[in-house]
Amino acid sequence: MKKILMVLLCGAMLAGCSRNGQSDIIVQTETTTAATEETLGEKENLTEETEQLTDSEKKITQENPYLGIEDQMKELYSDIESINSLEDLQDTDPVFTYSGSEEDVISGVTTDAISYAHIVFNGDAYFSVRGLYDDTSDLLVSAAEPYDGITLLFPNKEYTFDVTLIGQGDWTIEVYRLGTSSTDTFSGKGDFVTPIFKKTSNLYEVTVTSEKTIEEYSEESTYLRGWTDSGYELLVCTRPNGEFELLFDSGEEYAFFEIKSEDEWEIKPVGPRFY
């Protein structure tokens, strides 16, 4: 009799467990299905919203957010609203400096404004520097020969510099806040970030000069980005030895250029600004 009762009790418990398990599975399936439908609905809405954006708006939403160019200048100038032309202002002392002769990882480098890294490498080895911040890894430098260039750092970030060195060589990294320029005409060689300037035109002439022939380049040699508080416009991506007139038609008055290049370059406005 006891054995019969135990068998019946176990059977009832198993039946209950089975019913509860099936109930849990049904509830979980319904919840998952609802979440999936909600996610798909959000994606469809996002796709519809994205399709309604202009190409310029899409580019801005995909890039870094508001840089705070005007905010940075308000710290340099007491009355920015009355300024008709900017002055040549640039810090001569770096906010951070570090040197080495081997691979290294340098963390805790904070930028409280739009900044740049002046990176110098003396050696014939492979040398690279990555700037890590948030969940992003920017390749600042990649060189197999001596290098001396300036690369952009974004404001209000805590950077970690990851230095790779395969071979022998000495390197230095210096970080400066970006200054301002009284002119929007610039020239130089190699990677560079111009000071902030007030645009005098929305049409700029860019000249790239190189000793190398086009056959010696496996890819484009010069990238030019025009930055404003709306993000950046990729103005030119070209091989060496060319002259181009480029439309930099952002509505903002204040901007700066970021140049990635192996060659000599010159940027100058063409004619007055027009709308």
pLDDT tens digit string along 220-243? 578 899 998 888 888 877 766 778
Q: Is the pTM of this model over 0.85?
A: no
CA 184 to CA 34: how far, in whole Å? 56
pLDDT digits (tens, 9 = 90+) for 2-59: 343 343 334 444 444 444 444 444 444 444 444 444 434 443 443 343 334 333 333 3
As assigned by CATH, the class of the 66-87+179-275 domain is: mainly beta
Instruction: Mark 227-241 as b/e (b = at least 16 C-beta within 10 Å).
Output: bbbbbbbebbebbbe
Radius of gyration of the chain (CA): 28
More confident residue, 105 or 10: 105
As assigned by CATH, the class of the 91-178 domain is: mainly beta
Segment 91-107 mean pLDDT: 94
> Which of 233, 229, 50 shows the shortest CA–CA distance to 155?
229
**pLDDT number for residue 242:** 76
CA 58 to CA 72: how far, in whole Å? 26
What is the percent of the chain with per-residue pLDDT over 90, rounded to a whole number? Answer: 40
- For the ranges 54-63, 106-115, 124-133, 227-236, the lowest mean pLDDT is seen at 54-63
Mean pLDDT of the chain: 75
